[in-house]
Amino acid sequence: MTSSSTPAPDSPGTPGTRRPLRRLAARGRGEAHRAATPLELFFDLCFVVAIAQAGMQLVHAVAEGHPGEGILNYAMVFFAIWWAWMNFTWFASAYDNDDVLYRVVTLIQIAGVLVLAAGVSRAFEDHEFLAGLLGYVIMRLALVTQWLRAARSSEGPERTMALRYAVGVLLCQIGWLGLVLLPEDARPWVFLVMAILEMCVPPYAEKAHPTSWHPRHIAERYGLFTIIVLGETIAAATVGVKTGIDENDALGDLLPIAAGGLLIIFAAWWIYFAVPIHGHLRSNKQAFLWGYGHYLVFASAAAIGAGLEVAVEQVVGKAHISTLAASAAVTLPTALYLLTVWALHSRHFKFGITQQLVLPTTALLVICCTFLGDWAVLAAGLVSAGAVATGETLTARRTARAAGTAARAPVA
């Protein structure tokens, strides 16, 4: 296993020793200076293409008065995107050797997500999942190839773990065929059962041997993907506002939505990165809960952008829904984002009931903003910004008190 101070001869970070093909051996969990690679960043950007397609279809479904159906399809499509991304991320943190074959297989996974993205509209509009399923299977079979390479390069319990991953992922792909073979009414149940089975594979596989994922690297990867998703949210909302201004000359009506949306997204970024989370990822159990919980973080962050587009379409008369429904399309995912980030991140670093209640109270107030009519989005943005200001003020006061206590302490 690679040392935390000296790279192994075949390590990706050793200049002049790279070979086209290398053993796919585990990297060290304590490896120094571990950071996201250009390939991982490229991978993330391509995955956001699929997220943008899912968000666009969610906008259409909600704007046309079919929120239940739209949310269900969004949840199913987003799971496929998120799960493939997450599996690659944790595998890469433990086994990325950056050889030619590793790069080629990763690029195949990228091709798979692009196929999935191409099938998103069919999944929403016609309940046709064949193209989306094909893209998902491409991504997952590529991952199976990586796990088989890891099994070939290891022995003992680690080999057992890698083979469990490969077999588990492969068997799940057979189950997903139910989305195209079974009647339409059965497909939500197929999704529910298969999603649960997919999420059972990693805990089962790692009972044999835990993978050597890198806490700082994982925290950075999730943080970067959060930034990219929030960036896509800003881009989607900006396009919506621009279209409303160009086609309907409704600048005055759209300004509250634009300002409120920007405040919500700025607050979402601030709240996520307010604390360094890598120190909390000390065990596989904590890491699994944290990693799985990000399904709601990413899905709600992307849904905020979709909700802002819906609010814009409602203001300019393109959406066949009420102002209340359009406001809820923004406030509900915002509240979900706040609660999920609090549960995964913030609560571990808050001291005292006052600090602990800031984000849950903010989420409740954001939901209450739903009933403020045309000012709902702006009010939600101001409340979210207020949560940031309150949190920073409480933290500053606690830091000042701690510094004062330390200064008054007697010198030994």
Average pLDDT, integer, range 131-138: 91
Mean pLDDT of the chain: 85
- Write the pLDDT tens digit of every residue in 282-319: 766 778 888 899 999 999 999 999 999 999 988 888 88
Q: Looking at the predicted structure, is the pLDDT value of residue 40 above 80?
A: yes
Indicate where the chain has its CATH 1.20.1410 domain(s): 215-405
Chain centroid to Cα 180, Å, comes to: 26
Range 215-405: architecture per CATH = Up-down Bundle (1.20)
Alpha helices in 153-214 (DSSP H): 156-175, 178-181, 187-205
Our CA angle for 280, 302, 281, nearest 5°, is 10
> Where do we find the tokens 């585990």?
26
In this prediction, residue 3 carries a pLDDT of 36
> Where do we find the tokens 């008054």?
408
pTM: 0.87
**CA within 13 Å, CB half, 378:** 11
On whether the CB atoms of residues 288 and 226 are closer than 8 A, the answer is: no
Average pLDDT, integer, range 184-209: 91
Element (H, E) at 24: none
% of the chain with per-residue pLDDT over 90: 49
In this prediction, residue 350 carries a pLDDT of 63
In this prediction, residue 281 carries a pLDDT of 72
Using 50, 70 and 90 to split pLDDT, how confident is the model at 363? Answer: very high
Q: Which three-class secondary structure state does DSSP give residue 2?
A: coil
C-alpha to C-alpha distance for 57 and 62, rounded to whole angstroms = 9
C-alpha to C-alpha distance for 84 and 78, rounded to whole angstroms = 10
Which pair of structure tokens corresponds to residue 371?
A: 């009933």
- Write the pLDDT tens digit of every residue in 57-113: 999 899 888 888 899 999 999 999 999 999 999 999 999 888 899 999 999 999 999
Residues ≥6 apart with Cβ < 8 Å to 269: 226, 227, 230
Average pLDDT, integer, range 357-369: 93
In this prediction, residue 18 carries a pLDDT of 59
Q: Specify the range with the lowest mean pLDDT, choosing from 101-115, 122-136, 161-175, 385-399.
A: 385-399
C-alpha to C-alpha distance for 283 and 85, rounded to whole angstroms = 21
- Write the pLDDT tens digit of every residue in 205-235: 999 888 888 888 898 999 999 999 999 888 8
On whether the CB atoms of residues 96 and 102 are closer than 8 A, the answer is: yes
Average pLDDT, integer, range 230-249: 80
The DSSP annotation for 32-78 comes to TT----HHHHHHHHHHHHHHHHHHHHHHHHHHTT-HHHHHHHHHHHH
pLDDT, greater one: 126 or 67: 67
Average pLDDT, integer, range 163-183: 92
Element (H, E) at 146: helix 130-152
CA 190 to each of CA 126, 156, 174: distance values in angstroms, whole numbers, following the listed order: 17, 35, 12
Q: Looking at the predicted structure, is the pLDDT value of residue 9 above 50?
A: no
Using 50, 70 and 90 to split pLDDT, how confident is the model at 375? Answer: very high
